Chain A
Amino acid sequence: MNLEKVFFGFFILLALTLNFGFFVGELDNPDHHHAYELFAAIVVSLIATAMKFGERTQVGALLLASSMVADLQLIAAALVWGYALYISDAGMTAYTMASVVSLSGGALLANFASVILLIIETVMMPR
């Protein structure tokens, strides 16, 4: 068993599951989406990105790219949330919540792609 592979798979899967946990629920209902979950998803996604730094294989490069997409989408979601709460006068509306959640939905797709790539890499590895 390769400990590095365990960590790698752990963070990639965790990024996906946390992201999914935040995403499920009614799209525009703030009660269904918790800020802590978004925070956890961002942190795990960032760690997953850092773990892929310096990969030189083709699949490694794709993994890095997909998890950078996830980071970007999640941070954008957090920024929209912060903007709605503190800067805009309207506060958190159903409309803003919907855009936060749909941004995280994009990240979910990217994380999903990461997992698929990870599976492909594992299957292709000679045993």
Chain B
Amino acid sequence: MNSVIPFFLRRMRMPIIFLIGAYAVAILGFVLIPGVDPNGNPWRMDFLHAVYVVGYTATTIGFGELPYPFTPGQRLWGIFALHLTVIAWFYAVVTIIALIQDPAFRQAVKKDRFQRAVRSLSEPFYLICGYGDTGRQLVDAFTRRARRAVVVDIDPARIDELSVAEHPLFVPGLCGDASLPDNLITAGISHPRCAGVIAVTNNDQANLQIAISTKLLAPGLRIAARAEHDSTVANMQSFGTDYTLNPFRSFAEALELAFKSRAHYRIYQWLSGIPGIPMIPLEQAPPHGEWIICGYGRLGQAVHEVLRRHGIGARIVDSLPPTETYGAPFIQAKGTEAVTLNEAGVKYASAVFAATDNDADNLSIIMTARELNPELFLIARQNDRATDTLFEAAQVDMIMSRSRILATGILSLLAAPLLPRFLEEARAQTAAWAKELAPRIAAASGAEVPDIWTITVDEAQAPAVIHALRRGRELTVGALATDPQAWPQKLPVVTLLLARNGECHVLPPEDATLQEGDRLLMCGREGIDEWIKRILVNPKMLHYVATGEHRPEGWLWAWLRRRYKAS
């Protein structure tokens, strides 16, 4: 509003002045020119009639000659006045049309509309910077769960794409550089309902700037940022960025879990998946034989580190010589040709990892390698989501999709900040432990991607629990997971982690007692968390799930009940 109206008025100044002038001249002429009334007496038009006549001739309505038939002199003036005022109107209308087509004006209108949409948001929303593959998946996931999002992207084509995308909720989009603080403010970073900022542009430097701006402009906000260089991660963490996500490291960690056991990997996939998006089940655990890594960029290096930790040998294929291979044999080639792969020993290798930043090359490597050795365990890196169907058809064992790893990682971090702690603990556990846990999660979620959430036992989130604890009651972890309609049946949830004073207890037993300040990481079917949150705030429900008794309502009934119990 602040820019559109002054813009409009400034451009309309001349047409409006011309219009006023034309009307004034026409009216004055009619008043001054002598006329004759029906009785032949000389007569002069007064201002009321002059304004009336000019009004209807200028708008080309033409009621005729009022109040008396005109004299030739008046008609002569009429011809002039008619054309003058009609031209004035045309001038004004043409200026308005030109103004509407002016790109600067359209930009102002769009920005204004965006600002109004952001200002009127009354629910918590996330500010997503960057609407690439990752941003799109995040917006999808947010809106599907009826959560609000606001998008900023530098590319106008992407903002246009956002405006035609059919999201269940309206997502305001601003075309602008998110690394400029002004654009972040326009997008509502200081809006009281802004729940957090997610920086997922494809530029590490921009993400860094967004993180810094957020910390300075809105220090209380949570910020999750994508960072693909270790130096950026260190830089972001130095000023307290809440969550930094390096997709290559995340994939290396997932691979580490897959090396542990298939059950480990399945647990990881469930807990960090996006509900509704299917995942590829891991048919076999990654082999411990020789690996061939094609493409030794950041991803290749991160994976090689995991392999070294497991004592697995690797051969490296890349078109550029790397600075450090840690003793692994290196072949300088693209890896898409059979000659190169044969030279790398594909016949005897047990796994091939196509990790270049080109999707066509990766698919080519996979297809060639499979031809040479059908027994291979194949991992492909997918860079662009547009090639989804191709990678699906290629039927590889694992796909490393950067945008999916980022989107799922950010979503689960926002929903459950304790998740990385849990996964870290899980890495230390045995395969038997994972094999026992996996069916429990499957049972709780109905073999779909479960919802994952964190509960903090504090005044804000669990007033009923705090009240009960302060009165000396004992509450267990199991009580919170009880069905508030059918005690003692349990709700289909799994309590994954209990964090207390910096210590973490993985899979706390049912009878573990709760304390003030505890944090619980839980997972279960979509919507179950609403039940548990209700238990946390409703003393009556809490009493029921803890004891199986319906607490009497009202003092009289409570008194009668006490007497009945005493007798």
Contacts and interface: CB of A to CB of B under 8 A. Distances in A.
Interface of A: 35-36, 39, 43, 46-47, 50-51, 53-56, 78, 82, 85-86
A82 B20 CA distance: 20
Interface stretch (B11-19, B185-193, B443-451, B518-526): B11-19
In the complex, the 4 A-B pairs of residues with the closest C-beta atoms, listed nearest first? A54-B10, A53-B9, A54-B9, A43-B24
Contact of A35 (B20, B23, B47): B47
Nearest to B7: A54
Given A43-B20, A47-B20, A53 B13 contact: yes
Interface in B453-490: none
Interface of B: 6-13, 16-17, 20-21, 23-24, 27-28, 31, 46-48
A51 B31 contact: no
B10 A82 contact: no
B28 A53 contact: no
Given A78-B47, A82-B48, A85-B46, A50 B28 contact: no
A39 B48 CA distance: 11
A74 to B, nearest CB: 13
A105 B227 CA distance: 70
A36 B47 CA distance: 9
B9 to A, nearest CB: 4
Nearest to A87: B48
A56 to B, nearest CB: 6
A125 B8 CA distance: 26
A82 B47 contact: yes
B21 A54 contact: no
Given A47-B20, A50-B20, A53-B16, 17 more contacts: A35-B46, A36-B28, A39-B27, A39-B47, A47-B17, A50-B13, A50-B16, A51-B13, A53-B10, A53-B12, A54-B6, A54-B9, A54-B10, A54-B13, A56-B6, A82-B47, A86-B48
Contacts of A56: 6
Contacts of B10: 53-54
A82 B11 CA distance: 34
A50 B12 CA distance: 9
B48 A85 contact: yes
B6 A39 contact: no
18 contacts: A35-B46, A35-B47, A39-B27, A39-B28, A39-B31, A43-B20, A43-B23, A43-B24, A47-B17, A50-B13, A50-B17, A50-B20, A51-B17, A53-B9, A53-B10, A54-B7, A56-B6, A82-B48
Contacts of B20: 43, 46-47, 50
Interface centre among B9, B16, B20 (most CB of A within 10 A): B20
Contacts of A43: 20-21, 23-24
Interface centre among A43, A53, A56, A85 (most CB of B within 10 A): A53
Contacts of A53: 9-10, 12-13, 16
Contacts of B31: 36, 39
Contacts of A78: 47
B457 to A, nearest CB: 54
Nearest to B3: A56
Contacts of B23: 43
A67 to B, nearest CB: 13
Nearest to B21: A47
Contacts of B7: 54
A120 to B, nearest CB: 21
Contacts of B21: 43, 47
Contacts of B27: 39
A77 B342 CA distance: 99
A39 B21 CA distance: 12
A36 B21 CA distance: 15
Contacts of B6: 54-56
Nearest to A61: B6
Nearest to B10: A54
Nearest to A42: B24
Interface centre among A35, A43, A78 (most CB of B within 10 A): A43
A86 B16 CA distance: 30
A2 to B, nearest CB: 16
A37 B185 CA distance: 52
Contacts of A36: 28, 31
Contacts of B46: 35, 85
Contacts of A35: 46-47
A85 B17 CA distance: 30
Contacts of A54: 6-13
B50 to A, nearest CB: 9
A43 B385 CA distance: 64
Contacts of A82: 47-48
A39 B20 CA distance: 12
B23 to A, nearest CB: 8
A111 to B, nearest CB: 17
A26 B10 CA distance: 41
A78 to B, nearest CB: 7
A55 B13 CA distance: 11
Contacts of B28: 36, 39
A78 B50 CA distance: 13
A80 to B, nearest CB: 12
A46 B20 CA distance: 7
A51 B8 CA distance: 13
